[in-house]
Chain A
Amino acid sequence: MISVNVNGKEESIDVPPETPLLWVVRDSLGLTGSKFGCGAGLCGACTVHVNGEAVRSCVTPVKDVVGRKVTTIEGLSPDNGHPVQKAWIAHDVPQCGYCQSGMIMAVSALLAKKPNPTDRDIDASITNLCRCATYHRIREATHTAAKTKSVGGRKA
């Protein structure tokens, strides 16, 4: 049995320790907000936070997060209230939406580290793939969220 802390809750999971965190989160815990896109850490659809850092969960064995705090998209806020989520809604960012959980987790992790990222910072940090090419709205919404946070918006 492996003990993991996901979205503030201690969970006991009966899986081999090499099982990717993505499948633990999706199948063992039923949190399907984090998505499977490539299984190789290339697309970012599986991005979650581990101790606040953006991590691609499809290539992270669950044993590597024992003793750490895992946050999935479901744990970011109970009500779409996170500044990044609010910005996402204000800009109508998603199209098909499949990559967006991972995007939001990547962007929120970036903003926690760099509250006022430049376009260069965003280019370098946000390497998640979006097939619908919503990238321009992702960029705009990231700047909007940065402004919100800097004037006292809810912390990540």
Chain B
Amino acid sequence: MKTPTRYSASRRRFLAGLAGLAGGATGLIIPLRLSFAQQASGAGAAALAQVTPWIRIGPDESVVLYMSQAEMGQGIRTGLAQVLADELEADWNRIRLENAPVAAPYQITIRGFSGQFTAASSSMTLLYEPLRNAGAGAREMLTEAAARAWQVPAAECVARNGFISHKASRRKLSYGTLAAAASTLPIPGNPKLKSRGEFRYIGKPLRRLDTPSKTNGSAMFGIDVRVPDMLHAAIRHCPVFGGKITGYNEQVVKAMPGVRAVVPTQDALIVVAENYWQARAATQALALNVDPGPAGAMASDSLWTALRAGLDTGTPLVARADGDAAQALSGAARTIEAEYRVPYLAHATIEPVNCTADVRSDGCTIWAPTQGPARVKATLANMLKLPPETIKVNVTYVGGGFGRKGQPDFVIEAVLASKAVGRPVKLIWSREEDMRQDFYRPGFVGRYRAGLDASGNLAAVSARIAAQSLLAQLNPRWLRKDRLDETTVEGTSDVPYAIPNFLVEGVNVEGPVRLGWLRSIGHGPNAFMVESFMDEVAHAAGSDPYQFRRVLLKNDKRALAVLDAAAKAARWGRKMPPGRALGIAYHTYVGRAEIYHTRSAQVAEVSVAADGKLRVHSIYAAVDCGTVVNPRLVEAQVQGSIGWGLSAVLKGKITFADGQVQQSNFHDYPLLMLAEMPKIHVKLVDGGGPPAGMGEGTVPPTAPAVANAIFAATGRRLRSSPLLDFDLKSA
């Protein structure tokens, strides 16, 4: 209940805003409906009232919701709009989405790192409460505006679907009418939020807002940007990690049709031309001279040798030590040991990285499918020595991100090109460059040992995992003091299994490969290793893999509920014909800085034919991600994550020779095809609590579920991926 005196708005401003309602109390008649031209120009902008930084409402009743997060297929813009619109009590049919500028009100923070970024599956988790507050606050401001206009208590007014009404006097005013006045009121610090039962949009399977434009070709991705006077650019980087381009076919290339300039950067040559095809052709004629540098002899074999050696001779950093695993293992009735490895992976977004940049002497505008607009803005301000407010970052639709498009490298390149030629430049990387100049998911090796007691119970697990350190390259401040890299061990070190003696160690191994955040980070690799291992231990103990895990999850009711739901959906234990079997895996995805826990279990149903052909028929997935803002979007994320994870486990690998990536396009970095997509059954388990991240949460269990199913079907234990590298022909 709020009374007018709580608001300390300037009376004159408020009356001016009300003038249109009260028939010109100040002598000014402010038209309620401005023409579109007046709205578009600054003069009319006041009528499209900025009620809060997240919400603008126009006299035509349009409700503009500002989107700080990038839409890359996860549906976050629809989800966040639902949250804002529900508390606001807006008419869903009036919603319009616009990009938020890079500015303070839109920042989110993970472990002291503040900015505007779409990463770590953190968007809904971090913005759910702030947006509920923003929507509710605006609702209260609109209510107050109506209450003052009617001279009634705000408590007697009701907000509903774009209108404030006063039942007793049977009066009603639309948001469009009230918005100007409301925008002069201070934003409530502690608005009243809806109860769960009052939600009209949150929790509902509303349709995606971006589907129509993605169905008729009108949705604008970064690669589609067109600005007047624009030139086009293509790029070739030094193909060897850490090497240098020492020369190229300068005279030939500069004389090619349409070529305007060749712009060298620290590790690349950018060719600027009249159109993309000319730029592309010119990059193919560069005939690069390369000084390979220290990594020139690097190859996959040497990398794996170094990683495996790291397990024995590297410095093990303790990530978890419960009980005394070493002692328990030495006294175990039976020990099981296995070593696993997962390869380096590329992001392979179907939209290759690209950016359009327009650099002027007094400012810079860029358009890009970026996951990190704040970082881009700060980087460019610093690089160009311009005030940050002169840098404008336009975030387009993102044709696949998976972490790659959070790097500002391709933006910097476009900016350098534009600066060099004095015109806007659209830089597009070729698929070959995108594949070979990625920021890769590192390869992992893991050695796991388990000890069973005389009754076959799991008494101890010791795990040591080695990888190049991701954090050492990308965010050294997040390394622990002794340089333990949490991303190397996450997914093993935080398993919710009740293992009385549990040691997990991470080893950082030096390597020349450029690394990046790739969807599921360390969880994907670790889940493949630890859940394959748990399966091996279960079989060694003579236990059913599902029941074995049930016992270990006894202290975690939410995990148990999810595991049980997946097993039930799959009808675990049913009889299957020879060559066909089920495999199970569980994973708790602990979000970065523990901002959420997403719990998921999957059962894979596979068959392996006599000729070795593998088919993944079905995946039964259960997930507890707390509050579900849109079950349709969440289900799509589960299915998409599984399909994405299948590409990785079945086919994905990046290999190296002569210091270079060997893969270059989709013929040698194949992806899952439509014909290979299994039936995916999704069960959402309501564990309560705030929304947990779904961008990555259900990626990890797929790989081990499939590997475990292959074992059950064939007796073959595959301890590395890609699984299709193995010949599964029966002997």
Residues of A near any B CB (own CB < 8 A): 15-16, 19-20, 23, 26-28, 30-40, 42-43, 45, 72-74, 76-77, 80, 85, 88-89, 92-101, 104, 122-124, 126-139
Cα distance, A29 to B363, chains bound together (Å): 30
Task: List 6 additional A-B contacts (Cβ < 8 Å) besides A43-B350, A97-B213, A136-B643.
Answer: A28-B275, A36-B352, A42-B666, A76-B216, A98-B351, A135-B643
Please state if A126 and B674 are interface contacts (CB–CB under 8 Å). Answer: yes
| A36 proximity list for chain B (CB < 8 A) | 223, 352, 428
Most buried by B among A19, A73, A76, A97: A97
**Residues from chain B with Cβ under 8 Å of A15 in the complex:** 275, 277
Contacts of B643 in A (CB 8 A): 130, 132-136
Q: Which residues of A contact B226 (CB under 8 A)?
A: 30, 32
Closest Cβ–Cβ distance, residue B595 to chain A (whole Å)? 23
**Which residues of B approach A to under 8 Å, CB–CB?**
71-75, 207-208, 210-221, 223-224, 226, 232, 257, 275-277, 280, 348-352, 397-402, 428, 430-431, 632, 636, 639-644, 646-647, 665-667, 671-675, 677, 679-680
Chain A residues within an 8 Å CB radius of B352: 36-37
CA of A45 to CA of B671, assembled, Å: 14
Given contacts A27-B275, A42-B665, contact A97 B674 (CB under 8 A): no
Q: Is the CB of B639 within 8 A of A89?
A: no
Q: A99: which of B257, B350, B639 is its contact (CB, 8 Å)?
A: B350
Residues B72 and A96 in contact, CB atoms below 8 Å apart: yes
Q: Are A85 and B216 in contact (CB under 8 A)?
A: yes
- Chain B minimum-CB-distance residue to A20: B277
A16 to chain B, nearest CB (A): 8
Residues of A close to B276: CB separation below 8 A: 23, 26-27
Question: Once bound together, how far apart are the Cα atoms of A78 and B253, in whole Å?
Answer: 42
Q: How far is the CB of B23 from chain A (nearest CB, A)?
A: 43
Is B666 within 8 A of A94, CB to CB?
A: no
Contact A133 B640 (CB under 8 A): yes
Contact A40 B214 (CB under 8 A): no
Partner of A33 from the list B218, B349, B646, B667 (CB cut-off 8 Å) is: B218
Q: Assess the A42–B674 pair: CB atoms within 8 A.
A: no
Closest to A78 in B: B216
Q: Which of A38, A73, A124, A131 contacts B217 (CB 8 A)?
A: A73
Query: What residues on A are CB-neighbors of B257 within 8 Å?
Result: 16
What are the residues of chain B within 8 A of A130 when measuring CB–CB?
350, 643, 674
Closest chain A residue to B78, Cβ basis: A92
Known: A94-B214, A136-B639. A123 touches B674 (CB 8 A): yes
CB A88 to nearest CB in B, in angstroms, measures 5
Q: Which residue, of A38, A73, A129, has the highest number of chain B Cβ atoms within 10 A?
A: A38
A124 cross-chain contacts in B, Cβ below 8 A? 675
Whether A97 pairs with B399 at a CB distance below 8 angstroms is: yes
Partner of A129, one of B72, B221, B673: B673
- Picked from A85, A97, A131, the residue with its CB within 8 Å of the CB of B644 is A131
16 residue pairs bridging A and B, Cβ less than 8 Å apart: A26-B276, A32-B223, A85-B215, A92-B207, A92-B632, A94-B210, A95-B73, A96-B401, A100-B214, A104-B215, A128-B674, A129-B671, A134-B640, A136-B639, A137-B636, A138-B674
**B215 in contact with A88 (CB, 8 Å):** yes
| CA–CA, A49 and B71, complex, Å | 29
CB distance from A19 to the nearest CB of B (A): 5
Contact A42 B667 (CB under 8 A): yes
Known contacts A43-B350, A122-B674; A96/B400 CB under 8 A: yes
Return the chain B residue nearest A103 by Cβ.
B674
Contact of B73 among A28, A89, A96 (CB under 8 A): A96
In the complex, are the beta carbons of A131 and B671 less than 8 A apart? yes
Residues of B within 8 A of A73 (CB): 216-217
Q: Which residues of A contact B632 (CB under 8 A)?
A: 92
Contact of B348 among A26, A131, A135 (CB under 8 A): A131
**Which residues of B sit under 8 angstroms from A38, Cβ to Cβ?**
431, 665-666
Tell me the bound Cα distance from A35 to B216 in angstroms.
12
Q: Which 8 A/B pairs are nearest by Cβ-Cβ distance?
A: A33-B217, A133-B643, A98-B399, A97-B214, A96-B73, A95-B73, A123-B675, A73-B217
Residue in A closest to B435 when the chains form the complex, CB atoms:
A38
Tell me whether B215 and A100 are in contact (CB under 8 A). yes
Instruction: Tell me the nearest residue of chain B to A84, going by C-beta.
Output: B215
In contact, B216 and A127 (Cβ under 8 angstroms) = no
- Distance in angstroms from A47 CB to nearest chain B CB is 12
A27 touches B277 (CB 8 A): yes
Q: In whole angstroms, what is the CA distance A87 to B164 when docked?
A: 38
Across the two chains, which residue of chain A brings its CB closest to B217? A33
Q: Is B350 touching A131 in the complex (CB atoms < 8 A)? A: yes
Question: Which residues does chain A contribute within 8 Å of B349, judged by CB atoms?
Answer: 98, 131
Q: Would A40 and B217 be within 8 Å (CB), given that A23-B275, A35-B399, A92-B207 are in contact?
A: no
Task: Specify which of A43, A95, A101, A130 lies most central, judged by the most chain B CB atoms within 10 Å of its CB.
Answer: A95
List chain A residues, Cβ under 8 A from B213. Answer: 97
Residue of B nearest to A80 (CB): B216
Nearest A residue (CB) for B674? A135
A19–B213 CA distance with the chains assembled, in angstroms? 28
Please indicate the chain A residues that have their CB under 8 angstroms from the CB of B212 in the complex. Answer: 80, 89
Q: How far is the CB of B517 from chain A (nearest CB, A)?
A: 16
**CB atoms of A32 and B224 under 8 A apart:** yes
A42, B275: Cα distance in complex, Å: 23
Q: Given A27-B277, A42-B666, A136-B677, A129 and B350 touching (CB < 8 A)?
A: yes
Q: Which residue of B lies closest to A139 (CB)?
A: B674
Interfacial chain A residues near B642, Cβ < 8 Å: 133
Please, which residue of chain B has its CB at the minimum distance from the CB of A97?
B214
How far is B219's CA from A32's CA once the two chains are assembled, in angstroms? Answer: 9
Interchain nearest-CB distance for B220 vs A (Å): 7
CA of A34 to CA of B399 in the docked complex: distance in angstroms?
13
B398 and A133 within 8 A (CB): no
Q: In the complex, which residues of chain A have a beta carbon less than 8 angstroms from the beta carbon of B208? A: 92, 94
Instruction: Report the Cα distance A28→B73, complex, angstroms.
Output: 28
